[in-house]
Each structure stands twice: as C-alpha cells, then as structure tokens.
Amino acid sequence: MSEQLSRPAAGQGGLVDDFSRTISYLRLSLTDRCNLRCLYCVTEDERLGAVAKLPHSELLSYEELLRVVRVAVAMGIVKLRLTGGEPLLRRDIMSFITRLASIDDLHDIRLTTNGVLLARYAEELLAAGIRKINISLDTLRPHRFAEITGHDCFDAVWQGIEKTLALGFAPVKLNMVVMRGINDDELLDFARLAHDTELQVRFIEFMPIGASSHWSQGAFMPADEIMARIEERFGPLIPMNRDKADGPARLFKLGEQAAGTLGFISPISHHFCDRCNRLRLTSEGRLRSCLLHDEEVDLKQVIRGGGSDSAVREALLTAIRNKPRGHQSIERLRGGGCHGRMSRIGG
Ligand code: SAM
C-alpha cells in the first residue's frame, strides 16, 4: 500500500515520495499527433512517410482528463503542463483549458508548443487562462528549421513568439535542443536573444530517447560546454536565484542590462532527479513517473474499467511510489533503455 507517501488533505499540497521529493507537477500529453516531424522525435522512415497515430478512442477524453486532474489536485498537484505531440492540434482545447482553470486550487496551467499555431491561438489561450508558455525552437534560420522539422514554417513560429511577448505572456521560454554539428553554431545567436528580449532561452541537452535515430555521442553536447562557449564570447554569466518551483533549469543573466534570462537543462550531465517533482500522463492514459524510465501505470484501464476516484488516486500513488530515485545511466539509455516516444510521453 501507500503508507510511505504522505497524503495531504485536499488542496494542502505536499505529496512526498520515499526520497523526500514533493510531487507537485503533472504533465499531460494531450495528443500524440504533431504538425512537425523533428529529426529527434521521429525515425528517418517516418520523416519520409506516415507516422503511426493512436486511434482517437485511445486518447483520454477531456472528461476523463478533468477527472484525473481533479483527483491529482486534491492530492497535492499544483502545477499542470499541457503538452504532446502538439497540444494545439487537439480539438476544442480552449474549452478544456477553461474548464481546467475553474478547478479549485489549480492556479498554474502551462503549455508547451512548437509555436506553429501560436499566433492564431495566443489571444484565446490568454483568455482561457494560460500565462506561461514554452516554445520549442532549435534554430533561428528558416532553411535549417525546415531541415530539422520537415516543415517550412519558421516565420509562423516567430510570429507566435512575438505575439506572446506582445500580449504579456510571462515567462515565455524558448527551448533549444542543442545538437553538435546540427545547430551548435547558433548558440551565440540564441544567447543574444536572452539579452535583447524578455525571453528565457533554455539550452537542453540532447537525450538518447525513443524513436530518435539521430542521437549519437558525437551529437550530444554537455551543458558545461554550451555555457563555456557562451562565456567565451560574452564573459561570465550572472547566476540567478533559482525559484524552486520553476523547473530544472540553472538560470543566468547575460549581463546586468539583459532583458531576458538564459537557462541550462542538463538531464544527462547534471541530472536533477533528486529534486524532480514530476509525474506524466501519456497520450494513451498511462502514468509515467520518470521521462527516462519505461515503467508506467495504466490509468486508462482503471478509468475505463469503472474505477472510482479512490482507484484513480491509488493509481497515482502507485506511479509516485514507483518513481525511481534516478534515471537510467547514459550507457543504458544509449543501449536503447528508453523506448517511449516523446510525442506520446509528452516532451
Ligand atoms: N509539440 C510540443 C513542442 O514542440 O514543444 C510538445 C513537445 S514535443 C514532443 C518536442 C520537444 O520535446 C522538443 O522540442 C524538445 O524540447 C523535447 N525533446 C524531444 N526529443 C528530445 C531529445 N531527444 N532530447 C531532448 N529533448 C527532446
């Protein structure tokens, strides 16, 4: 049973696991579908042809998701991220967000998007209750964008970024997966953005995960090297106090006058498992407590098997109880130790 886990009263927060980590953050992958074909997310064959998709009936419905979120919030989850796949592709997402925003004690709902549809939806997102947004962008060069993502739509993403800044979303985080030999010649350009704009530009280490046929030791660049390259050009970065609730990035400013911030996310070289507060719900309704561990709890089976709210709660507790102390070693990951697809797990 779940005696090891401290169970808070509704809304109190404080779901603590065996390793003294407070689990307070749930990430929902709303769909496995995406309008891009990024080289680290799909295989080479899929870039050229069709990508297998889950039938709609395999996705949790909004009613089912709302029920899970209500139970999770009553247990102590305070922060929610909508991701995918590309979450903005899921039909009626705005009314879903509006309903999420009306859940008592849930005040922090965030979105991760590739930005392609952002300019179109930014105002509606704001009205529905989203203020904090992460945008994936691995290059500032339109031609290269098409090479990395398989789609020629850099301008649409850039318009989305500009619109979110203009509308006052804050923070607006730009996530760049750094791949040596593919986009590492743009590190300084990205760093400059964090000086000239209010963006939080985050450099993410390339992980050997899932379908990516492009990961190699050679393409991996550790965060320390990324930082050294930026400091070589701009001088020492100024460390910022890390708001514990605000994610795994180590944050810096590129000088006192910088409008934005720089972040380094190093799941491989300096993993942050000891303060990981996350639980994921995959697009087909499986709870996953570690991005880089394949163990999952089938929550959809509980729900569609007629499980009560306390059965949903037990499933959440089981997933948290199974949360490993740390993720697998790079050697095991390189050997294919993590099979999930980012689009279904929720990147
Ligand atoms: N469509 C949304 C988006 O683009 O932000 C949701 C996430 S989607 C699965 C893609 C994101 O997952 C990437 O931009 C990256 O941040 C992350 N990701 C996927 N594969 C990765 C890998 N091998 N290493 C590091 N990050 C990865």
Query: Per the domain annotation, does 95 fall within a domain?
Result: yes
Query: Per the domain annotation, does 7 fall within a domain?
Result: no
Q: Reduced to 3 states, what is the DSSP secondary structure of residue 251?
A: strand
pTM of the model: 0.93
pLDDT for 1: 35
Site to substitute for ligand 1 among 116, 182, 342, most atoms within 8 A of C-beta: 342
CA of 104 to the centre of ligand 1 (A): 30
Query: Per the domain annotation, does 3 fall within a domain?
Result: no
CA of 190 to the centre of ligand 1 (A): 17
Query: Per the domain annotation, does 246 fall within a domain?
Result: yes
Closest residue by Cα to atom 22, ligand 1, is 207
Helices 93-101 and 62-75 meet at what angle, rounded to 10?
30
CA of 257 to the centre of ligand 1 (A): 30
**Torsion angle, CA of 194/244/324/76, rounded to 10 degrees?**
-120
Q: Which residues of 229-268 are buried (b: 16+ CB within 10 A; e: fewer)?
A: bbeeebeebeeeeeeeeebbbbbbbbeeebebbbbbbbbb
Q: Counting atoms of ligand 1 from 1, which one is nearest the CA of 34?
A: 1
Reading the chain (347 residues) residue by residue, the pLDDT tens digits are 333 455 444 344 468 998 999 999 999 999 999 999 999 888 888 888 788 889 999 999 999 999 999 999 999 999 999 999 999 999 999 999 999 999 999 999 999 999 999 999 999 999 999 999 999 999 999 999 999 999 999 999 999 999 999 999 999 999 999 999 999 999 999 999 999 999 999 999 999 886 666 788 899 999 999 999 999 999 999 999 876 446 789 999 999 999 999 999 998 898 889 999 999 999 999 999 998 888 999 999 999 999 999 999 999 999 999 998 887 666 666 666 566 678 888 87
Structural domain containing residue 299 = 15-345
Which residue is it, tokens 């990961």?
215
Query: Per the domain annotation, does 100 fall within a domain?
Result: yes
pLDDT for 114: 98
Pocket of ligand 1 (CB under 6 A): 34, 40-41, 83-84, 86, 112-114, 136, 175, 177, 204, 206-207, 209, 212, 342-343, 347
Query: Per the domain annotation, does 300 fall within a domain?
Result: yes
pLDDT for 60: 97
CATH number at 182 reads 3.20.20.70
Closest residue by Cα to atom 25, ligand 1, is 206
Q: Counting atoms of ligand 1 from 1, which one is nearest the CA of 85?
A: 1
Query: Per the domain annotation, does 9 fall within a domain?
Result: no
Query: Per the domain annotation, does 265 fall within a domain?
Result: yes
**Number of domains comprising the chain:** 1
Tokens of residue 206, six digits: 């390339």
Whether 151 and 142 have beta carbons less than 8 Å apart is answered as no
